[in-house]
Amino acid sequence: MKVVMINDCAFVAETLLKYLPPQMEKQHIKRTRGVWSKTLGIAYDVWRVKGDVFHAHYLLQDCYIAARLGKKPLIGHAHGSDLRKSLHHPLWRRVVKHNLKNCDKILVSTPDVLSIAKKFREDAEYFPNPVDSEYFYPKPFIKHDGKKKVLIASDSNWNVKGTDIAIKALSKIKDEVDVSIVRHGADFDRTAALASSLGLHLSILPKVPHQKLDEYYWNTDVVIDRFKLGSLGVISLEAIACGRPVVAYVSSEFPEYAAFPLKAVDTEEKAVDSIRNADNRLWEKEYTYFMTEHGATVVVERLLRLYEALGVS
């Protein structure tokens, strides 16, 4: 069997391919943001490739091209913004709707967009994001005296990530925490300005390649992720994999997160309490959930069952 992954998001395709059985033939068709690469370039690459199953990440042009070229069976894998945002875009909505209706299977990476996908495909399914354990694995806490080290690792985006909520919460305990933030995201300057106005000092960290984020996680005591959407981001999963407790808003409305130990952190006050109480005991509970649902080998086993259900073996 040959698996063809098309495009990627948050290194999900790359990780899945890495952990698929070594005897399987695999190919990853990647593209850049360049005009040629994301149009005629990707169309040519998809046209000429042969495989037994095609797995397209993001329900945009890559998936659309594969569908139009008759690549089957075709899995369309939604990663969030394609359903939250592009589905309502005047240019992209037709593409997204076409993919939702014409793929052989639709997967979504977070449960907050599952209900959107199900409006078009009742058989749409939540598929947990995997984490590469070669790069992200537990290390003991670094013992130190003084303030709790807090890392804001997700990109600064007030509408999607709620970075402003994190800043406001941390400002309430600014004498108890030493906060670092990665310079990344459309709202980074606004975030830095808000922190300054609230008297919260931020240590600015440069954006680094994905495989080097583990160093940032290991050098902190607790990682802050997003406070909107109610779903776990990849940042949360990677931080937990690295042995650090995560504080984020995880909605109790999603049955997929029933086993996650920290839910409904949806106010600044709850965020403050959770940050203060985040310790190794919380991490152990989060890690138990993580290994059950998001460990790479567990996720790949689920993917192989999905391929088999599509008649691919």
CB 279 within 8 A of CB 285: no
The reply to whether 2-130+295-309 and 148-293 are identical in fold is yes
CATH topology of domain 2-130+295-309: Rossmann fold (3.40.50)
pLDDT over 90 (residue 145) = no
Q: What is the pTM of this model?
A: 0.94
CB 99 within 8 A of CB 66: no
Segments making up each domain of the chain, as ranges: 2-130+295-309, 148-293
Q: CB within 8 A of 202, min separation 6: which ones?
A: 179, 180, 181, 192, 195
For residue 21, is the peptide bond before it cis, meaning its omega torsion is within 30 degrees of 0? Answer: no
Spatial separation of the C-alpha atoms in residues 249 and 267, rounded to whole Å: 9
Which of the four pLDDT bands, split at 50, 70 and 90, describes residue 313? confident
In CATH, the architecture of 148-293 is: 3-Layer(aba) Sandwich (3.40)
Spatial separation of the C-alpha atoms in residues 154 and 181, rounded to whole Å: 8
CB 23 within 8 A of CB 37: no
Which of the four pLDDT bands, split at 50, 70 and 90, describes residue 242? very high
User: What pLDDT is recorded for position 51?
Assistant: 97
Kindly tell me the sign of the dihedral angle through the C-alpha atoms of 283, 151, 140, 146.
negative
User: What pLDDT is recorded for position 108?
Assistant: 98
